[in-house]
Amino acid sequence: MTGSAAIHASAIAKTYGTGDAAVQALRGVDLQANFGEMVALVGPSGCGKTTLISILAGLLSRDGGELRLAGTDPDALDNNARTLWRREHVGFIFQQFNLVPQISVLENVAIPLLLRGDHRGTSLERAAQLLERVGLKGREASQPHKLSGGQQQRVAIARSLVHGPSILVCDEPTSALDGATGQRVMELVREQGCRPDRLVVLVTHDERIFHFADRIVHMDDGRVTRVVDAKSEVAALRAAQAMENPR
Ligand SMILES: Nc1ncnc2c1ncn2[C@@H]1O[C@H](COP(=O)(O)OP(=O)(O)OP(=O)(O)O)[C@@H](O)[C@H]1O
Ligand SMILES: [Mg+2]
């Protein structure tokens, strides 16, 4: 399925609140993305990035426009069907990591598998493998609040990948990670998330991870303003940095 349309979004609109308090967060967003690729959304704070990926993840309803995610319009499903669709097909890494405080790190990672009724033993085994991949072997039994911010973020990343989602949406997945850890975790996200029947949409301010993406989508004030090939964007950034810091 590589190259086939995974996301078809056109004229997506979203307003929060009503009357004087209304905030037009998305003003007609068009976005196409294919299976196998990673798309990075960038833009100033408040421009609508989290709103857009929440709609793409089927977590938030749009007010207008057309959306197909692997052929499905999540807003056309009833609540129950949408929840089941999300559990099966979507993975998320939220800006706040949203870990469940009362249960262990290992169980947190296994949640997507346990929710869909997979065998507990094999679910925990798969969760342990991913925890090892994000460098958290030995912390399986810890409670989330005993971990640092960066460690919690890596738990959230492991949890988002555990069920092999068709669509992975990540909101600033490396915000709490040092450079080397960020690179390692992004290699895992790329390997697990960008298979021929999967794709990743990621929001980031972190220029050090742009090179993992295939395309960079620039947003401003509720709209997509530019879509750039990631290689060209990275080359332009390096050229600009070289001009600023000549040896
Ligand atoms: N639940 C909400 N109720 C009302 N307004 C909201 C809500 N969520 C977001 N907004 C507003 O919608 C606009 C877009 O917000 P959004 O969170 O999508 O921005 P963002 O690009 O993700 O910003 P950041 O980079 O700071 O995370 C902002 O003006 C924000 O204040
Ligand atoms: Mg945001």
pLDDT digits (tens, 9 = 90+) for 182-195: 999 999 999 999 99
Signed CA dihedral, 150, 54, 165, 36: sign only? negative
The number of domains in the chain is: 1
Cα separation, 104 vs 141, in Å, equals 5
Q: What is the per-residue pLDDT for 192?
A: 96
| Spatial distance between the Cα atoms of 39 and 233, rounded to a whole number of angstroms | 13
* Residue whose CA is at the smallest distance from ligand 1 atom 26: 45
- What is the distance between the alpha carbons of residues 39 and 211, in angstroms, rounded to a whole number? 11
Query: From CA 168, how far away is CA 161, in angstroms rounded?
Result: 8
- Which of 15, 50, 62, 218 has the most ligand 1 atoms within 8 A of CB, as the residue to mutate? 50
Instruction: Provide the residue range defining the domain that includes 114.
Output: 5-244
Specify whether the CB–CB gap between 163 and 112 falls below 8 A. Answer: yes
Q: How many CB atoms within 10 Å of residue 103?
A: 13
Q: From the CB of 50, is ligand 1 less than 6 Å away?
A: yes
CATH number at residue 87: 3.40.50.300
Pair 33, 7: CB distance under 8 Å: yes
54 lines ligand 1 (CB under 6 A): no
Query: Do the beta carbons of residue 183 and residue 135 sit within 8 Å?
Result: no
Q: Which pLDDT band, with edges at 50, 70 and 90, does 4 fall under?
A: low
Q: Whose CA is nearest to atom 19 of ligand 1?
A: 46
Kindly report, residue by residue over 123-181, the tens digit of the pLDDT: 999 999 999 999 999 999 999 999 999 999 999 999 999 999 999 999 999 999 999 99
Beta carbon of 47 within 6 Å of any ligand 1 atom: yes
Give distance in angstroms: CA of 15 to centre of ligand 2: 15
Q: 14 pairs with which residues across the strands?
A: 26
